[in-house]
């Protein structure tokens, strides 16, 4: 069994959900009051992919809404999904909360979902930020990632579902008793800056809570997401995106190669690339700066 979660750090967080017209449950968390920020977590992530210490958000007067994608946490699985389905889920959440427009941010596997929401619901976004987002890869970029990602995304690209399930399933079996052990093992060859973040007790507390929640239904949501990310992004029209986007990325990121991110940003006329100092997890340490830059863009 996956270990139970403790709630002492999360008394201020509302755990909410709605039922979509097709009967699916869509869940999110909400904390704080003030300027609304819609957050799309990385992969595998959940509505509990939030900071254990939320002072950064509270100090800026933010209402932070953290979502989860189909198959993760309490959100119903949607086999074969790509991106538009979840972008419509996000619009339904905003309708439910009575929010017309929000600031939008997402990291890692949340990156392409930010692009999808900006493409399909541009009138709902004030401005957007992507931190170390996952881009589509050229053949020579797979080996630039940590070995686990190299194998998983190659299998997803090739439609090798058996290999992908075997790889993810092995990690999931470990997660059941040691939620962060697969991540620790996979990131063993990551840049030193990533390892420093991963040793931070506050980061680990938040990451463990998010991971336990993400796998509440099993690993199928992770599997569906990897297929979507590794396949063709046929339902994201980059040319349709008019939202102001800042994309933050580290040159030594071994989860999402910098060159691929740079190439994707070049296809977005309203996007600006800002270089972080190092690897994949630096946004945790730089979130104050990243939020301030996002909030400075009024339209």
Domains of the chain: 14-295 (3.40.50.1820)
What pairs with residue 125 in β-bridges? Answer: 102
Contact 157, 134 (CB under 8 A): no
Mean pLDDT for the chain overall:
94
**How far apart are the C-alpha atoms of 200 and 101, rounded to whole Å?**
34
For residue 299, the model assigns a pLDDT of: 63
**Residue 246, by phi and psi: left (phi above 0), alpha (psi -120 to 50) or beta?**
beta
pLDDT at 7: 61
* pLDDT for residue 8: 73
* C-alpha to C-alpha distance for 200 and 197, rounded to whole angstroms: 5
Residue identified by tokens 């059941």 is: 176
Contacts 24+ apart (CB under 8 A), 9-13: 9/52, 9/205, 9/209, 10/48, 10/209, 12/54, 13/50
Name the 3-class secondary structure at 56: helix
Q: Check residue 5 and give its pLDDT.
A: 46
Of 60, 56, 71, 52, nearest to 7 by C-alpha is: 52
Per-residue pLDDT of 132-143, as tens digits, reads 999 999 999 999
**What region, left, alpha or beta, does residue 48 occupy, with left being phi > 0 and alpha being psi -120 to 50 degrees?**
alpha
For residue 4, the model assigns a pLDDT of: 43
Q: Quick one: pLDDT at residue 151? A: 96
Question: Which pLDDT score is estimated for 298?
Answer: 84
Cβ 113 vs Cβ 83: under 8 Å: yes
Give the per-residue pLDDT at 278. Answer: 80
Q: What is the pLDDT of residues 66-109, one digit of tens each?
A: 999 999 999 999 999 999 999 999 999 999 999 999 999 999 99
Q: Please compute the mean of the pLDDT values over residues 266-289 and round it to a whole number.
A: 93
What confidence tens digit (pLDDT) does each residue in 203-253 have? 998 999 999 999 999 999 999 999 999 999 999 999 989 999 999 999 999
- In degrees and rounded to multiples of 5, residue 248 shows phi and psi of -100, 135
């Amino acid at each position: 069994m996956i270990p139970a979660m403790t709630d002492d750090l999360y008394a201020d967080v509302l755990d909410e959900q709605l039922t979509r017209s097709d009967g699916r449950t869509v869940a999110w968390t909400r904390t704080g009051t003030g300027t609304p920020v819609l957050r799309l977590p990385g992969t595998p992530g959940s509505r509990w992919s939030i900071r254990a210490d939320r002072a950064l958000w509270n100090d800026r007067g933010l209402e932070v809404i953290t979502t989860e994608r189909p198959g993760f946490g309490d959100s119903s699985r949607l086999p074969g999904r790509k991106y538009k389905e979840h972008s419509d889920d996000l619009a339904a959440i905003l309708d439910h909360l009575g929010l017309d427009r929000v600031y939008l941010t997402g990291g890692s596997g949340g990156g392409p979902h930010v692009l999808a929401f900006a493409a399909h619901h541009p009138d709902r976004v004030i401005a957007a930020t992507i931190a170390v987002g996952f881009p589509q890869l050229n053949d020579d970029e797979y080996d630039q990632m940590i070995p686990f990602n190299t194998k998983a995304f190659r299998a997803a690209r090739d439609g090798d579902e058996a290999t992908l399930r075997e790889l993810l399933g092995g990690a999931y079996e470990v997660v059941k008793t040691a939620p962060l052990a697969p991540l620790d093992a996979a990131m063993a060859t990551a840049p030193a800056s990533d390892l420093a973040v991963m040793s931070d007790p506050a980061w680990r507390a938040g990451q463990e809570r998010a991971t336990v929640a993400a796998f509440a239904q099993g690993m199928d949501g992770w599997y569906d997401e990897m297929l979507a990310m590794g396949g063709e992004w046929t339902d994201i029209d980059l040319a349709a995106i008019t939202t102001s986007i800042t994309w933050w990325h580290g040159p030594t990121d071994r989860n999402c190669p910098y060159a691929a991110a740079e190439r994707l940003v070049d296809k977005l006329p309203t996007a600006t690339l800002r270089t972080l100092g190092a690897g994949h997890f630096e946004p945790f340490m730089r979130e104050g700066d990243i939020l301030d830059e996002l909030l400075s863009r009024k339209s």
